[in-house]
Amino acid sequence: MHSVVVMNRLIFLLLLPLALGPVLAQSNTTEPALPKKLKINSAKRADLLELPSIGPARAEWVIQTRRLNGPFRCVAELRAMPRLSEKQFQALSVAIYVTAGDTRCPPEPKAPTSR
């Protein structure tokens, strides 16, 4: 009987690192992954709906604006979106990008870094 208990404890101690490996590996990460930015000029409706402050009407506005005026030259052009507050624009602007910047547009805001 005693040898069965000792054997069970030994098996437990041998298998414990295998069970805790994924948990310990996750706790070693120091910074959370930054969210991936969306390329606003090629984003589909479904992609736009995942952005902060974008619902069906605003997603349609982005698509129609691109269709009528061509691609956005810079993120700042999205300030023209109807009823978009400055706070909403700031949240949106760090989640999107355009491929070719226009020197007439102000620099795109940088995402805040976590410490």
Domains and CATH numbers, the chain: 38-97 (1.10.150.310)
pLDDT tens-digit map of 13-33: 566 566 666 655 565 555 555
- How many Cα atoms within 13 Å fall on the side-chain side of residue 69? 14
Bridge partner list, 31: none
The pTM assigned to this predicted structure is 0.61
Bridge partner list, 39: 97
Q: With pLDDT > 70 as the criterion, what percentage of the chain qualifies?
A: 57
Alpha helix (H) residue ranges in the chain: 2-27, 45-48, 56-69, 86-93
Bridge partner list, 97: 39
Least confident of 2-11, 40-49, 58-67, 74-83: 2-11
- Could you tell me how far CA 44 lies from the centroid of its own chain? 16
When pLDDT is cut at 50, 70 and 90, the band that residue 83 belongs to is: very high
